[in-house]
Amino acid sequence: MPTISVRSSAGAYDVVCEPRSLARVPSLIRRLGDSTGAFVVSSPRVWRHWGKTLAKILGAPAKKPILFDDSESAKRLSTIESIARQLVRAGADRRAIVIAIGGGVVGDVAGFAAATYSRGVRLVHIPTTVVAQVDSAIGGKTGVDLPEGKNLVGAFYPPRLVVADPVFLSTLPHREFRSGLYEVIKYGVIADRRVFEFLARHMDAILRRDPASLGYIIPRCAAIKAHVVSKDEREAGLRQILNFGHTFGHALETATNYRRFLHGEAIAWGMIAATLLALAADRLDERSANRIIRLVLSVGPLPPLSGIRTIELKRVTASDKKAHAGRVRWVLPPRIGACKWGIELPWSLAARAFAELPLIAASNGR
């Protein structure tokens, strides 16, 4: 499935998900129609590895890129203002195209800048990380963080094109590569038992970045994401399954001021907590819960949970954008390959699940 189609309120767009697709970007962008210029938004880290290559392929737009720090702490409204002002100085108008080249933070920030600059300009994603290629670049979610919580300011703004070339994954630091795999596990748990079983059998090869293994999981997960967001663009129902592990994961990121965990690492702990919660609520059998937890832990060590108080997590989860009137609605798996959303449970059950996480940490060598 080299090209995956995604339906959106702004029209269908393609996710091109195959090796050597980067070289096709200029011709794919030309298919989007006339523009007054393309403007690249990326990060210094990406540019150190890929700047020369991108300049050769993209030409003028990549010779004067707009670069910003792609750490989670840079997902702020001040960064949006900085990008917008640079677009003004570069001469971007309403017929411009913004090309976001980077991981999830670059996509979220550049996407929100595109959604708001001149009330919206065309957006192209070229994701360079696992999490961006299988998840964040697809579906049109953009946004930035507030001190009170993650992604609290943003917009649904679908791109016009996504080009996910696995060549970018060759230069990812190993910790970042592993972090992206937790989102891949998420898809196996919530939607596709075959993906889950493949991960369980081939995790060693995947961690070695075996091309054949990546060639299976990345298009498959991208196709799952495309199917879900095509059916529910605005997260009114089905799309909520994509938040498996994210309620608690986002709370961990917020409680530690986005400095301890990479996004996927926080989601990993969130998936373990949600699995324990499903088990405690008699919504998941013990064997399946153990298999999910073992698969998450098989990716590698996670940052510790020391010093994070349950009372703080309760406060943060209550203010999460997915909560309703302060009531947390959980996303839980009834079995591997399926998921339920909108589940309200007593906080005492959640607290019990959180209390068990240090035991998981101990088994993980922490």
Domains of the chain: 3-170 (3.40.50.1970), 174-363 (1.20.1090.10)
pLDDT for the residue 135: 96
Catalytic residue among 246, 253, 265, 322: 246
Q: Tell me if 170 sits within 8 A of 209, measured CB to CB.
A: yes
- Whether residue 320 has pLDDT greater than 70: no
Q: Indicate if 64 belongs to the active site.
A: no
Please choose, from the candidates 271, 275, 280, 278, the residue with its C-alpha nearest in 3D space to the C-alpha of residue 246: 271
Question: The tokens of 139 are what?
Answer: 């579906």
Global pTM reads 0.92
Tell me the C-alpha distance between 118 and 94, whole Å: 6
Catalytic residue among 176, 183, 253, 265: 183
306 exposed, middle or buried (CB, 10 Å; 0-12, 13-18, 19+)?
exposed
- For β-strands 340-343 and 66-67, DSSP reports them as unpaired
pLDDT 10s digits, 71-81 = 988 999 999 99
Q: Indicate if 231 belongs to the active site.
A: no
Q: Indicate if 239 belongs to the active site.
A: yes
Tell me the C-alpha distance between 265 and 249, whole Å: 8
Catalytic residue among 72, 176, 233, 235: 235
Q: Indicate if 174 belongs to the active site.
A: no
Maximum CA extent, the chain: 59
The residues, any chain, with a CB within 8 Å of residue 232's CB and separated by 6 or more, are: 238, 239, 240
Catalytic residue among 119, 287, 324, 344: 119
Catalytic residue among 125, 160, 250, 322: 250
- Whether residue 62 has pLDDT greater than 50: yes
Question: The tokens of 29 are what?
Answer: 């962008």
Q: Tell me if 140 sits within 8 A of 146, measured CB to CB.
A: no
Catalytic residue among 45, 122, 178, 239: 239
Q: What is the DSSP string of 82-125?
A: HHHHHHHHHT--TT-EEEEEESHHHHHHHHHHHHHGGG--EEEE
Q: Indicate if 250 belongs to the active site.
A: yes
pLDDT for the residue 69: 95
Tell me the C-alpha distance between 51 and 42, whole Å: 10
Tell me the C-alpha distance between 232 and 240, whole Å: 9
Q: What is the DSSP string of 69-92?
A: --SGGG-SHHHHHHHHHHHHHHT-
pLDDT 10s digits, 243-294 = 999 999 999 998 998 899 999 999 999 999 999 999 999 999 999 999 999 9
pLDDT 10s digits, 195-215 = 999 999 999 999 999 999 999
Q: Indicate if 183 belongs to the active site.
A: yes
Tally the C-alpha atoms within 13 A of residue 104's C-alpha that lie toward its C-beta: 22
Tell me the C-alpha distance between 76 and 100, whole Å: 17
Catalytic residue among 125, 220, 263, 322: 263
Residue 29, SS3 per DSSP: helix
Q: Indicate if 340 belongs to the active site.
A: no
Q: Indicate if 309 belongs to the active site.
A: no
